């Protein structure tokens, strides 16, 4: 092993890696998209399918990326090329596509994190008190019409991310996630307890238990192929496959780390957070007679109405949006770490320089995305359409529906035909001490079924 490998940063502790990886996986989609899909596609039936997909697809691919990172002890752009003997192969694209997807994704994701901080401030100042549907819709439109305000909150997110990641793996990423993840969990449990003890608050409102019943009761009549594909896509994006971060995080592990068990912890924390987030949201919606299938709009249009009407709503509203902002922030750390570390190693520049240059590029790409949201008819940016989408939504589509599936397909093909399943299983199980290991019986599934499933996700997203 080279001296450069000896000098490579490592995680300070096992729990530090688990919390950092879980922080990356737990994001804004856990707060609204997973509960919405669960309620829409059969409650507990959808949850059962989701868990099976996490076991059969999420676990093998996540352990593959983490295990590959631990094996090559490099970021993916440099490490995979070294691992293939310097040959030019499709596998060399894994790091490039993953890092570029991170940059494009962060161009709009940082904006959304900024929205969460903005709404936390609105909650604290009492802006939600007494508002109705028209008021919250106008409030959200007013923010979309104010690019200076959005850019300001985005810059706040950029500064916080930059300060965190430039501190390094142990003192920046790990220390921050070890501090924020427990706070995130405590806030989530407090909000869930507050929600399940709520009573009907408006005429026509239902009980919190009815909200939980709608959310979690298995209804297999709603379990269609569309539901299975939705579960497949949600598990894929929530765990964080095809974005290079898991490989980068894995490269900081010690050689004797327990990759299979640690991966299970990360996936369980990610799924558990998403399930409990639904317990926070749906009982409250039912008690206040709100539409539980309103998707992304419920965060910015439905929930502020509830916080404006409930006792102590300023506190609960601020706590919810701070929770969402922190979840987005810990994911943002992972999305930034992958390109910052990879390009620092590839271009042989300092971590600090790479971090701030990447953030600068993300912000510059985010400006058109911000401007495209302004509904003013005179706004020419809003009229720009790419593949039928405005710039903001095209960035989401390009990174999430195209680049991430392509990257995951390359990882799956590399695992099956270059690394080989038995080598992958042996490498990932190195250091495993518990009963959780990569099993031999998954070989055919991983080598053939997973690539086909990922191609389906890509086709469905085009």
Q: Label residue 289 by pLDDT band (50, 70, 90).
A: confident
Residue 172 CA to residue 332 CA, distance in Å, equals: 13
Nearest Cα residue to 61 out of 236, 180, 212: 236
Task: Calculate what percentage of the chain has a pLDDT beyond 90.
Answer: 67
pLDDT recorded at residue 4: 44
Residue range 12-59, pLDDT digits in tens: 999 999 999 999 999 988 887 888 888 888 888 898 899 888 888 899
What pLDDT score does 96 carry? 97
**Residue 77 CA from chain centroid, whole number:** 22
Instruction: Please tell me the distance from the alpha carbon of residue 231 to that of residue 355, in angstroms, as a whole number.
Output: 34
- At 388, list the tokens: 């039928």
Closest-CA residue to 169 (of 227, 65, 254): 254
Residue pLDDT, tens place only, 415-435: 998 999 999 999 999 999 888
The pLDDT of residue 230 is 85
For 99-117, what is each residue's pLDDT tens digit?
999 999 999 999 999 999 9
pLDDT digit string, tens, across residues 187-237: 999 999 999 999 898 888 899 999 998 888 888 888 888 888 888 888 888
What pTM did the predictor assign? 0.93
Task: Return the biggest CA–CA distance within the chain.
Answer: 70
Band of residue 392 on the pLDDT scale cut at 50, 70, 90? very high
Contact 446, 416 (CB under 8 A): yes
The answer, yes or no, to whether residue 390 has pLDDT greater than 60, is yes
Q: How far apart are CA 249 and CA 167, in angstroms?
A: 15
Mean pLDDT of 371-398: 92
φ, ψ at 389 (rounded to 5°): -125, 150
CA distances 143 to 28, 128, 243, Å, are: 19, 14, 30
Q: How far apart are the first and last CA of the chain?
A: 43
Name the nearest CA neighbour of 35 among 275, 208, 268: 275
pLDDT tens, residue by residue, 127-150: 999 998 889 999 999 999 999 999
Domain extent listing, the chain: 11-461
The angle at the Cα of 276, spanning 270 to 281, to the nearest 5 degrees, equals: 125
The C-alpha atoms of residue 298 and residue 133 are separated, in whole angstroms, by 11
Residue environment code for 51-74, b if the CB has 16+ CB neighbours within 10 A, otherwise e: bebbebbbbbbbbbbbbbbbbbbb
The answer as to CATH 1.20.1740.10 being correct for domain 11-461 is yes
Q: Which residues pair with 386 in a beta bridge?
A: 389
Distance CA 110, CA 364 (A): 12
> Could you tell me if residue 376 is left (phi over 0), alpha (psi between -120 and 50 degrees) or otherwise beta?
beta
Considering only residues 218 and 67, tell me which one the structure prediction assigns the higher pLDDT. 67
Q: Work out the pLDDT band at 1, boundaries 50, 70, 90.
A: very low
Residue 89: the pLDDT is 87
Residue 113, CA distances (Å) to 37, 166, 191, 264 in order: 21, 20, 20, 27
Q: Is the pLDDT of residue 3 over 60?
A: no
Distance of alpha carbon 174 from alpha carbon 178, whole angstroms: 6
How far does CA 324 lie from the centroid of its chain? 12
Distance CA 444, CA 462 (A): 27
CA angle 270, 275, 280 (to 5 degrees): 120
Q: Give the Cβ contact number of residue 103 at 10 Å.
A: 20
For residue 202, the model assigns a pLDDT of 84
Q: Count the alpha carbons within 13 Å of 76 in the hemisphere toward its beta carbon.
A: 33
């Amino acid at each position: 092993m080279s001296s450069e490998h000896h000098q490579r940063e490592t995680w300070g502790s096992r729990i530090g890696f688990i919390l950092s990886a879980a922080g990356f996986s737990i994001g804004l989609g856990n707060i609204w998209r997973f509960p919405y899909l669960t309620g829409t596609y059969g409650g507990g039936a959808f949850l059962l399918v989701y868990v099976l997909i996490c076991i059969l697809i999420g676990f093998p691919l996540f352990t593959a990326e983490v295990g590959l990172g631990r094996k090559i002890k490099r970021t993916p752009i440099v490490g995979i090329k070294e691992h293939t003997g310097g040959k030019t192969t499709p596998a060399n694209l894994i790091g490039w596509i993953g890092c570029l997807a991170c940059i494009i994704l962060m161009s709009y994701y940082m904006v959304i994190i900024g929205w969460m901080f903005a709404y936390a401030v609105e909650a604290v100042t009492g802006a939600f008190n007494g508002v109705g549907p028209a008021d919250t819709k106008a409030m959200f439109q007013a923010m979309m019409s104010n690019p200076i305000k959005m850019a300001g909150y985005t810059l706040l997110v950029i500064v916080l991310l930059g300060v965190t990641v430039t501190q390094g793996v142990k003192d920046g990423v790990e220390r921050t996630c070890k501090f924020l993840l427990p706070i995130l969990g405590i806030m989530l449990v407090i909000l869930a307890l507050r929600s399940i003890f709520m009573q009907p608050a408006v005429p026509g409102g239902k009980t919190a238990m009815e909200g939980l019943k709608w959310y979690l009761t298995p209804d297999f009549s709603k379990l269609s192929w569309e539901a299975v594909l939705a579960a497949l896509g949600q598990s894929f994006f929530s765990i964080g496959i095809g974005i290079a971060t898991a490989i980068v995080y894995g490269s900081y592990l010690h050689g004797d780390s327990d990759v299979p068990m640690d991966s299970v912890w990360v996936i369980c924390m990610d799924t558990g957070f998403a399930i409990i987030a639904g317990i926070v949201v749906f009982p409250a919606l039912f008690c206040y007679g709100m539409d539980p299938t309103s998707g992304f709009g419920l965060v910015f249009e439905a929930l502020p109405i509830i916080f404006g009407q409930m006792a102590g709503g300023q506190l609960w509203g601020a706590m919810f949006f701070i929770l969402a902002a922190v979840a987005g922030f810990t994911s943002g750390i992972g999305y930034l770490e992958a390109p910052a570390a990879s390009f620092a190693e590839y271009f042989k520049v300092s971590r600090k320089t790479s971090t701030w240059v990447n953030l600068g590029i993300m912000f510059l790409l985010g400006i058109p995305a911000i401007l495209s949201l302004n509904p003013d008819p005179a706004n020419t940016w809003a009229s720009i359409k790419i593949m039928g989408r405005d710039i903001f939504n095209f960035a989401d589509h390009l990174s999430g529906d195209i680049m991430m599936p392509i990257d995951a397909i390359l990882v799956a093909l590399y695992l099956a035909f270059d690394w080989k399943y038995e080598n992958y299983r042996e490498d990932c199980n190195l250091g495993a001490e518990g009963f959780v290991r990569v099993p031999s019986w998954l070989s055919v599934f991983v080598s053939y079924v997973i690539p086909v499933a990922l191609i389906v996700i890509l086709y469905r997203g085009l």
